[in-house]
Amino acid sequence: MELLWPGFLYLLGLIPILIIAYIWILRRRKPFAVRYSSLSLVRTALGKQSQWRRHIPFALFLLAMSSLIMAVSRPVSTIVVPSSNATIILAIDVSRSMCSTDILPSRLEAAKAAALQFVEDQDGNTQIGVVAFAGFAVVVQPPTRDQGLLKDAITNLTTARRTAIGEGILMSLDAISEIDDSITSPYSGMETVPLPEGQFAPAIIVVLTDGVSTTGTHPLLAAQLSVDRGVRVYTIGFGTDNNNSIPNCGFGVQTDPFAGQFFGGGGGGGPRREIDEETLKQVADMTGGSYHLAASANELQDVFRNLPTQVMTVTETTEISVMFVVLGALLVTLAMVLSIIWHPIP
């Protein structure tokens, strides 16, 4: 907790002054007791009232005054609240192994179907972007709430050579930075102050891949950059074991991995690589996300359906003066009520 106007705390110096004045008043009353001929008459008049009751209302008054002084000092607190403007980046592997037909009609088509269903299931406050990566990564659709644009971008994805998982994560961070000034792009060269442990940005990256990173930035280095920015990465390994299927991504094989973006045209065959589960698990664990394995279209649908998109939070600084005002008012009221009950006016 911090104070916007800490100078008002000097008013707490009034508390000991009031205590001294209170004690002085109590002692000043003692000489008047000798005016009564018998102390038993005084005790009878006062009844069996406990001595500590005399001081409770005053103690409550002092607590109330302290609370109100704290309120005047304008305390603020950093709290974590649910975010109403979440951002999700779907980073989809479009390497040529995604043409494999061990998952019909192909891994890529099954991934598209799951991503399309995921888009349809989100509410209107969620911004979704699409990044495709093979030998390099590109933002095929910046974060948007327009489901029509998202569906077109996903539907038109096709394949290219090689796999750069790390580049997919970096490009996703760059896409998030375009709409969130609190997140710096990994390509900007600017230093990033890491978020405190346990705090996250209201954005996640979902990486779907069926292979091993073969080029570009190492995935764990990209994961560390995500950690510094508080962006969680959820990784999905997609494919079956011992795949011997015939690739099926259409015609028009693209031979130059840097010749345009990942849409239009077709794909081609290529050697099947096993999923690098160990690296994908490390990426997820480092960033606060989780790893999921999907060996069928239905399993992939379930993974997307269970992604924790509703637990995104954002850190906000909120003034909490009203809490101290309410506490002070309650204490004053309680002091007055007890004073009336225990010390009724004749």
Beta-bridge mates of residue 132: 92, 138
Q: How confident is the model at residue 79, as a pLDDT? A: 64
Average pLDDT over residues 171-179: 96
Q: Output helix, strand, coil percentages for the chain, rounded to the nearest 5.
A: 45, 20, 40
Written as six digits, the tokens of 342 are 């225990």
Phi, psi (5° rounding) for residue 41? -65, -40
Q: How confident is the model at residue 284, as a pLDDT? A: 97
Return all residues near 190 (Cβ < 8 A) that are at least 6 apart. Answer: 184
Q: How confident is the model at residue 310, as a pLDDT? A: 58
pLDDT digits 0-9 by tens, 24-37: 887 776 555 555 45
Burial group, residue 248, by CB count within 10 angstroms (0-12, 13-18, 19+): middle
Give CA–CA dist 233/288, Å, rounded. 7
Written as six digits, the tokens of 197 are 């442990």
Each domain of the chain, given as residue ranges in start order, spans 2-79+319-342, 84-311
What's the pTM? 0.66
pLDDT digits 0-9 by tens, 103-139: 999 999 999 999 999 999 987 778 999 999 999 999 9
Q: What is the CA radius of gyration of the chain?
A: 33
Written as six digits, the tokens of 178 are 């375009």
Provide the residue type at 184 as one letter.
T
Written as six digits, the tokens of 23 are 């004690």
Confidence of residue 39 (pLDDT cuts 50, 70, 90): low
Query: Which stretches does DSSP call E strand in 19-135?
Result: 75-82, 87-93, 127-133
Q: How many other C-beta atoms are found inside a 10 Å radius of the C-beta of residue 210?
A: 27
Q: Is the pLDDT at 17 greater than 80, yes or no?
A: yes
Calculated CA dihedral for residues 220, 228, 292, 126, nearest 10 degrees: -140
Q: Is the pLDDT at 259 greater than 60, yes or no?
A: no
**CA dihedral (158, 161, 165, 168) positive or negative:** negative
84-311 domain in CATH 3.40.50.410? yes
Q: How confident is the model at residue 270, as a pLDDT? A: 45
pLDDT digits 0-9 by tens, 66-94: 988 888 888 888 765 555 568 999 999 99
